[in-house]
Structure 1
Amino acid sequence: MTEQILPETLAVSFADLTPDLVLDAVDSCGMHCDGRLLALNSYENRVYQLALDDAPPVIAKFYRPQRWTDAAILEEHQFVRELVAQEIPVVPALVNATGDSLHQYHGYRFALFPRQSGRAPEIGDAATLEWLGRFIGRIHAVGATQTYHHRPAIDQHTFGIAPRQWLLEHDFIPPDLLQAYTSVLQQALDGIARCYERAGDVAMLRLHGDCHMGNVLWLESGEQAGPHFVDFDDSRMGPGIQDLWMLLSGNRAEMQSQLTDILVGYEDFFDFEPRQLHLIEALRTLRLLHYSAWLAQRWDDPAFPAAFPWFNSQRYWQDRILELREQIALMDEAPLWPV
């Protein structure tokens, strides 16, 4: 759960990241802002749209200190450039004249991206889902050609065991719920382990990692019509199904239909291992565990209590216990299967 910390990032804080500093940082890259700055919806990092004097607007992403190493960030940038080279519609970090995509200013690390417009895809449309599947298949075909060396994988330890350990060591669980939460958490981890055992030896590859509909922008017309995949900040090694299950929603029959449409396009470019289907509910459970720990680990960032006022209340942890009990039952059911 915890990534290597860079010494030079220990002293900086998002609290000191003022609009003037953001403008000066972008200006230090040779891009001259006209003063218009818009903060975008992001909590893990700080992301801004900036208008330039003589060019289209750019997106500046200031990376959360103490999260990724420089090497881990650059691995992601390289992966996205590989996808661009294969004409896959993703949004790469801009590279300066010396070939750098990661920049530093007053201790802050940041990258610049072209602005990408678009709307959310229509998930109820079979053709749209097939189109999404084709491009995710192409992403995975490229992702399978190399491995990450500086980014952790999505697995039982990083998204399950490590978050549990962190939460229990930092006294976030109310004392009167601690026994119930600890018990259901162990049952959930046992259920996850059984799902992985049923799946067997599933191939790991470089993924988008956070491939929900909010990270897919759809263009209606023109040469670039169709899906554009953005924000590879959570890219990791993991099973391919991780980038597919997050596109599914609704009841079981609806998800089966959606999965069928996605796989029609996906398998045009990359082979799908059916045994990965045993991991869908396990990965969903791991994401829930990871999310609670993620909120807790960021709780000293003033943006988090303001954005998530319901977190760390008695009701929050009661709901998590019920949620995990539901997931435990789902993990023991027959896996979702395309129709």
Structure 2
Amino acid sequence: MSATHTFSGLIPDVILDAVESTGLWCDSRIYPLNSYENRVYQVGIEDSSPVIAKFYRPGRWNDAQIGEEHETLLALQAQGIPVVAPLTFEGKTLFHHNDIHFTLSPKLTGQHPEADNLDQLYQLGELIGQVHQAMSTPFKHRISVSPLDQIEQAAACILTGDHLPQKLKAEYQKQISRLHEMSAAQLNIYWPTQLRPVHGDSHRSNLMLHNDQFHLLDFDDCQNGVAVQDLWLHLTQTENPRQQLSEIIEGYETYLPFDTRELGLIDVFKSARIIHYAAWLQERWHDPAFVKAFPWFASDEYWINHLNELKSCELEWGNMSL
């Protein structure tokens, strides 16, 4: 069954049946939340607080990979680290309904971090350092990051697809080749012999300030990687990104030393993320939710801007250091 077909079957009655299969009783209130890779809903529970129901995109992760995500969250929660772990029912956190995996978690309310807030950047660094310190054993089932493979695979997807305008393909290929060459050279200068477990997608929307404490959300992309992966996404285009970086690292080093050689990998991860985002949209374009949410993706203007963003990556290469 395709992911699109499965998700199209997530009508209210199916969602309620899935949640109630765990033993909870729903009050029929369902609110879709902002998620495209998976489907996530707030579901009201009779005489209790609402829960968050997350339905995993079919074929993306297997049971062992999702299980390792859940085990990590439960272990972090047991150590008092502010994350949102899945709810457990009869010793289980992962369930199946209508051929789709789903999990339930508590609802957390709060605010996302403020961009450029130096005090909050320090706190975020502390939280990520605390999480990294606790996640000391590499994952057995999750993926291991490979930026060059990510660039190659994403670029191949785009160049063989139907969305990149033909008139831009030669220039796009040339730009990808330059970034690939620059990335390979940087990785040769420093790539660790041992990867470590990381969150993998710790952008602002995956952090929540709740009761004056930041919580790290959504470990869907947790993987074996490098520490800087979870730090650089909090840098914004301001007059002084180095000050932002300094605050994040200072907070991080409350718990773990940070190897500053990893700063040379920021440009590699930034380039890979930009290319991967475009490929992700193209790969998911069969999903009606993507067509509705990203109507500009099929326009020439999007691809021109995307190409210019990749050129900017090249121009800015090597600017980030302490």
1:78 to partner: Cα distance:
1.1
1:43 shift after superposition: 0.5
Match of 2:184 in 1: 193
Query: What is the identity, as a one-letter code, of the residue corresponding to 1:108?
Result: I
Could you tell me which of 233, 236, 245 is aligned with 2:220? 233
Distance 2:79 2:185 in 1: 37
Does residue 307 of structure 2 align to residue 293 of structure 1?
no
1:282-318 CA distance string (max 9 Å, x none): 1111100110111011000000011001103212221
Equivalent pair of 1:9/1:107 in contact (CA under 8 Å): no
Residue identity opposite 2:97 in structure 1 = Y
1:114-137 C-alpha deviation (Å, 9 max, x unpaired): 001111223433332222111100
Aligned residue pairs total 322
8 Å Cα contact 2:148/2:180 also seen in 1: no
How far apart in 2 are the matches of 1:83 and 1:318? 43
79-88 or 11-20: bigger deviation: 11-20
Q: Given the alignment, which residue of 251, 258, 265 partners 2:251?
A: 265
Q: Does the CA contact (< 8 Å) of 1:202 and 1:239 recur in 2? A: no
| Whole-angstrom CA distance in 2 between matches of 1:71 and 1:9 | 21
Q: Does 1:127 align with 2:111?
A: no
Report how far residue 158 of structure 1 moved.
4.2
Do the aligned residues in 1 keep the contact of 2:70 with 2:85 (CA within 8 Å)?
A: yes
Partner in structure 1 of residue 269 of structure 2: 283
1:321 aligns with 2:307: yes
**1:337 match:** 321
Does 1:204 find its partner at 2:195?
Answer: yes
Aligned match of 1:91 in 80, 84, 88? 84
Shift of 1:235: 1.3
**What is the CA-CA distance between 1:195 and the residue it aligns to?**
2.0
Q: What are the superposed Cα offsets for residues 170-190 of structure 1, whole Å, 9 maximum, x if unpaired? A: 343222211111111111111
Equivalent residue in structure 1 for 2:70, among 68, 71, 77:
77
Per the normalisation by structure 1, the TM-score is: 0.90
Cα distance in 2 for partners of 1:38, 1:200 equals 43
Contact 1:132 1:227 in 2 (8 A): yes
Match of 1:178 in 2: 169
Is the aligned partner of 1:61 residue 2:74? no
Q: Which amino acid aligns with 2:24?
A: M
Q: In the alignment, what sits opposite 1:116?
A: 108
CA distance in 2, matches of 1:298, 1:82: 33
Uncovered stretches (5+) of structure 2, i.e. residues with no partner: none
- For residues 192-234 of structure 1, the C-alpha deviation after alignment (integer angstroms, 9 at most, x for no partner) is 1122123243642111111111111112x4xxx3101111111
SS at match of 1:310: helix
Secondary structure, aligned partner of 1:55: coil
What SS does the aligned partner of 1:50 have? strand
Q: Distance in 1 between matches of 2:252 and 2:4?
A: 44
Is 1:165 matched with 2:149?
Answer: no
Of 255, 260, 265, the residue aligned with 1:274 is 260
CA contact (8 A) 1:202 1:276 kept: no
Contact 2:51 2:106 in 1 (8 A): yes
**Alpha carbons 2:73, 2:85 under 8 Å: kept:** yes
Q: Is 1:138 the equivalent of 2:130?
A: yes
Cα 1:255–1:103 change in 2 (3 A) is: same
Task: Name the amino acid aligned to 1:285.
Answer: S
Using the TM superposition, give the Cα deviation of residue 12 of structure 1 relative to its aligned residue in structure 2, in angstroms. Answer: 5.1
Q: 2: CA distance between counterparts of 1:123 and 1:291?
A: 21
SS in 2 for 1:299: coil
- 1:65-116 per-position Cα deviation (integer Å, ceiling 9, x unaligned): 111111111111111112112211000011111x111100111110000001
Distance in 1 (alpha carbons) for counterparts of 2:79 and 2:128: 13
Which of 143, 146, 149 is matched with 1:152 structurally? 143
Amino acid at match of 2:298: N
Distance 1:88 1:311 in 2: 38
Assess if the C-alpha contact under 8 Å between 1:163 and 1:293 holds in 2.
yes
Other structure's SS at 2:231 match: helix
Identity of aligned residues (%): 37
Code of the aligned partner of 1:302: P
Whole-angstrom distance in 2 between the partners of 1:246 and 1:214: 11
Match of 2:227, SS state, is coil
Q: CA RMSD in A?
A: 1.7
Partner of 1:4: none
